[in-house]
Chain A
Amino acid sequence: MTERGKAVATGRTVFIGLAALTIAEYVVAVSLTALPVLFILAVAKVWLIVVYFMHIGQLREGSH
């Protein structure tokens, strides 16, 4: 797979993950009312965005 293909595939996977977590959030809120679970789901979503969409790792690696 090309570099570009990998980048697009990563974006698609992360997007699907974020969508799944958002649905899970809604289901948890409607059925369980479990605050810690909602918090964990939100943190998981933020982790996906910050690591894969915002590329925070670039700070450690320097420019590339």
Chain B
Amino acid sequence: MTTSDHVVVSKLTLDRFGLWLFILSETGLFVALLAARFYLTGFEVPEEANQVVALTITSILLASSGTAYLAEVASRFGDSALFRKAMMATLLLGLVFLVGVGVEWSEAFHAFPPSTLYGSSFFFMTGMHAFHVLTGMIFLGIVYRMSRGAPASHKWPVEASVKYWHFVDVVWVFFYPALYLIN
């Protein structure tokens, strides 16, 4: 091997590659949950599924992806004030999403309890997703706290936490039609 054969890969590129590998491994988990849902209960969705709550929390999560993107852009250009506002908005929208899931769960416990086939899929899928929303919020919260003072020096944590947040949104993009719309 000659000197010219060396490929210099920056730490940032390796960090990004590692994060994408992590996201890929998480994707396997959610694909398995989707497969189990269709295997167990086919394409049926109970009439009791609350379409209004589902569409509302879907819109909220979508909006949170928009504010997370804005936070990343603000961080990239060193706009600390906008970064903090957009990050806080993302956290609040995440919290509202979780409250919405809680509302849906309280109704679903009566309509299709976890002891039923659809109920077990529904609670496991939404529960696992809500857990990821919660961990994403913790991740974003830590980055928000770190940003006090010098956000420009913490660009990778911002990028990583925001990418993870978008991934949580991607999962819901498939879960929403699978749990509410396909009937």
Give A contacts to B, CB under 8 Å: 3-4, 7-8, 11, 14-15, 18-19, 22, 25-26, 28-29, 33, 35, 38-39, 41-42, 45-46, 49-50, 53-56, 58-59, 62-63
Contacts and interface: CB of A to CB of B under 8 A. Distances in A.
Contacts of A11: 66, 69-70, 73
A38 B20 contact: no
Contacts of B170: 46, 49-50, 54
Given A35-B182, A56-B20, A45 B13 contact: no
Which residue of B9, B176, B180, B183 has the most chain A CB atoms within 10 A of its CB atom? B176
Contact of B16 (A15, A18, A59): A59
Contact of A29 (B9, B173, B177): B177
A46 B169 CA distance: 9
B173 A58 contact: no
Contact of A42 (B16, B43, B62, B177): B177
A44 B159 CA distance: 23
B177 A25 contact: yes
B124 interface: no
Nearest to A11: B69
Nearest to A21: B173
A4 B13 CA distance: 22
A53 B69 contact: yes
A22 B166 contact: no
Contact of A59 (B10, B17, B66, B182): B17
Contact of A49 (B13, B173, B182): B173
B22 interface: no
B65 interface: yes
Contacts of A15: 62-63, 65-66, 69
B65 to A, nearest CB: 6
B174 interface: yes
A29 B183 CA distance: 7
A48 to B, nearest CB: 10
B118 interface: no
20 contacts: A4-B77, A7-B76, A11-B69, A11-B73, A14-B69, A15-B65, A15-B66, A19-B59, A22-B55, A26-B181, A33-B183, A35-B182, A38-B181, A53-B68, A54-B166, A54-B170, A59-B13, A59-B16, A62-B9, A63-B10
